[in-house]
Structure 1
Amino acid sequence: MELQGKVALITGGATGLGREVGLRLAREGCHVAINYVPAVREAAEATRAEVAGLGVKAIAVEADVTDGAQVERMAREVAERLGPVDILICSAGVTVHVPFPDLQGVSEADWDRVMAVNVKGAFLCARAVVPMMRERGEGRIINVASSAGLTPSGSSIPYAVSKGSMITLTKCLAKALAPDEILVNAVAPSMMRTGWWSEVSEERLRQQEQGLPLKRAARVEDVADGIMYMIKGDSVTGHTLAVDGGVSMY
């Protein structure tokens, strides 16, 4: 896919991986819509300004991806202000930190929230933009999954299950949308040094890294490289690219 003049919508685009991908796309001449929730409004505006500084159009759009009406409104706003969406990056995600053996520690609210954001949200966003992609004859959807969806690991059972579901959603969408030249793929990072780890000490981070085959966390730049490859390429769909330091090979 040639990116010059295309329009990308990035959920969870204010910080971390979503921000990095937004900047990458902008450098390729892509206009960018950054989805955010109220808690990160300032970060979203800062990222929007940074993206716009690269010479493309950029907007920040508030929406809860678990609410179908808000998602449809967001898609319409992006189309009206930037143009029809060509690229969707589903980077919005949440988790809870509960050890796997502690089944009683997972509340129904925890389960519902994690599944709603990580799985339902990705589906609702795809559903909202696919009509635009079909009309234009091509599109790209990238879901940000996790190595926890490939092998039982991560911060909690709800998180691992949600990311496994996201990987299956990716395959289902890829099969459904292949006749329309809409390619759907996922990336599966393991540990990344992003804001999710902001409350963890450096010592603890280093201990976590020692559990990885490569003994180091992935950089957001590494994962963004994988996303950009799958956006630009024309022959890969239904694939999940593990950028996880080797975690999922076991």
Structure 2
Amino acid sequence: MNLSDRPVALVTGAATGVGRACAMQFARRGFAVVVNYSRSKAEADQTANDIEALGVPVSVVQADVSVESEVQSMLDQVRNQYGRLDCLVNNAAATEFVEHSDLDAMTVAAWDRILGVNLKGPFFVTRAAAKLLAEGEGGSVVNVSSVAGFTGAGSCIAYCASKGGLNTMTKSLARALGPKIRVNAVCPGPIDSRWIREGNPNWDLTEMVANYPIPQPSQPDDIADAVLFFAIGTKVTTGQLLAVDGGQMLTIQ
């Protein structure tokens, strides 16, 4: 297979967790994969090595998705190296663990960083990728959001606000970019990953999910399964928000 004949996926925040799981699943399906990271270089390189071991092309690109110039440089590199882009997964995210009732602890700097990465970032990357996605037979964008965007419950108020905005933006982009580009979002509940374990060691995942219809946290591959469905498993689905949460939202009165 010539490089230009192979489908290409770009996954932001692909060094660890859900992003890594998505990158690996694309690679197992024969995609060339662009692994984006911001700070986790060693983990990004390991993900790339694991993809390379599967016999498919892989690139590692450092870019802070909240910085428009870095995003544009990343997409220029994708075009120059591969000449195409078929799937974009906006997975990069940021948060801080701040009690919702402690309004003073939710600083301006934290607000700006969280909304910059979680909301501006997906817009910047999608805008920069749109022309390349549209040049082929039709592209797909999948935003990794959160049930926090529905419930208002999560690591901090800014995080919930950013994911609520991302959910709405998913619908807006689906309207704006169709029919050539589909845009959907996967909204995870609690994930058994470094994100929670290191972010707030005081959170007990087992206790958190005890009253869910499926009383277990998801694994990164559970979320990647849903991402891959939106990316390549359907042709006429756009503007949809899919909760992958063990039934968490059914427990909210």
**Global fold match (TM > 0.5):** yes
Kindly provide the amino acid, as one letter, of the partner of residue 38 in structure 2. V
1:124 to 2:107 alignment: no
Q: Percent identity?
A: 37
- Quote the offset at 1:26 in angstroms: 0.7
Q: What are the ranges of 5 or more consecutive residues in structure 2 without an aligned counterpart? A: none
Please give the residue correspondences for 1:164-183 in structure 2 after superposition, counting only pairs within 5 Å: 164-179=164-179, 181-183=180-182
- Quote the offset at 1:83 in angstroms: 2.8
In structure 2, the residue matched to 1:241 is 242
Kindly provide the amino acid, as one letter, of the partner of residue 186 in structure 1. A
- Quote the offset at 1:209 in angstroms: 2.5
In structure 2, the residue matched to 1:195 is 194
In structure 1, the residue matched to 2:162 is 162
Contact 2:190 2:205 in 1 (8 A): no
In structure 1, how many angstroms separate the alpha carbons of the residues matched to 2:129 and 2:91? 15
- Quote the offset at 1:82 in angstroms: 2.6
Tell me the number of residue pairs that the alignment of Structure 1 and Structure 2 aligns: 245
In structure 2, how many angstroms separate the alpha carbons of the residues matched to 1:185 and 1:236? 8
In structure 2, the residue matched to 1:47 is 47
In structure 2, how many angstroms separate the alpha carbons of the residues matched to 1:205 and 1:241? 21
Distance 1:54 1:205, change over 3 A: same
In structure 2, how many angstroms separate the alpha carbons of the residues matched to 1:106 and 1:212? 29
Contact 1:8 1:32 in 2 (8 A): yes
**Residue range with higher mean Cα deviation, 78-87 or 13-22:** 78-87
In structure 2, the residue matched to 1:56 is 56
Contact 2:147 2:245 in 1 (8 A): yes
- Quote the offset at 1:197 in angstroms: 2.2
In structure 1, the residue matched to 2:206 is 206
Q: Deviations over 1:174-231 (max 9, x none)?
A: 001113x200000000100111123355982322232534221011121111111111
In structure 2, the residue matched to 1:10 is 11
Q: Deviations over 1:59-107 (max 9, x none)?
A: 1000110111110000011221233221110000011111111111100
Please give the residue correspondences for 1:91-170 in structure 2 after superposition, counting only pairs within 5 Å: 91-170=91-170
User: If the length of structure 2 is used for normalisation, what is the TM-score?
Assistant: 0.93
Say which SS state the counterpart of residue 34 (structure 1) adopts.
Answer: strand
Q: What are the ranges of 5 or more consecutive residues in structure 1 without an aligned counterpart? A: none
Contact 1:214 1:246 in 2 (8 A): yes
Contact 2:84 2:135 in 1 (8 A): no
Kindly provide the amino acid, as one letter, of the partner of residue 206 in structure 2. R
Kindly provide the amino acid, as one letter, of the partner of residue 102 in structure 1. D
**Residue range with higher mean Cα deviation, 181-190 or 211-220:** 211-220
Say which SS state the counterpart of residue 116 (structure 2) adopts.
Answer: helix
